Every structure is written in structure tokens, then in C-alpha cells.
Amino acid sequence: MQLTQLELFLLGALLSLLTGLLVRLVMGNAYVKKSECRQVRDQTGSTLQEIKNGQDIQFRMLRGIIVSLPIGEKEKRELLNERGIY
């Protein structure tokens, strides 16, 4: 049985379509829905903001401790100028 180029092309297109449909049916539940993705992204964003706020509080507390330490002014200036603030 010999097939023409058009028949081979159509057969390939049909097989591709069937494969895509089968993958969609079998793996359809494995995909993340847009609403789930948005929910996780919002939760992650709020968690990251909480961490950043906590780090800012710790940084300010450490700066307060450094100011009250019994060390020289030069050492204090070097420690406090780590982020270019003092």
C-alpha cells in the first residue's frame, strides 16, 4: 500500500491531534489553574513582605545596639555605614 504525500500529511496531522487530545484528557488535572497560581503568588508575596518587615526591625534593633556599644567612634561609623546610611 502506497500513500501519497497528502495522505501521509493528513495521517500525521490526525495522529498529532489525537496525541494532543489524549495528553489533555490524561494530564488535564495536572495543570495549575490560573486562580490557584494567583492565590499562591499572593500568599508568597505577603510572606515575603512579612520577612522583609522582620528584617527591617532586626536591622534597626542592631543599629540601636551598635550605637550604645562601648567601642570607638570609628568602629561604630564603619559598622553603621554597612548600607551607606550613617
42-70 pLDDT, tens digit each: 888 888 888 988 899 998 898 888 888 88
Give tens-digit pLDDT for 13-42: 999 999 999 988 888 777 788 898 889 888
Q: Taking the model in full, what pTM does it have?
A: 0.44
Are the C-beta atoms of residues 66 and 80 closer than 8 Å to each other?
yes
Q: Which pLDDT score, from 0 to 100, does residue 85 have?
A: 57
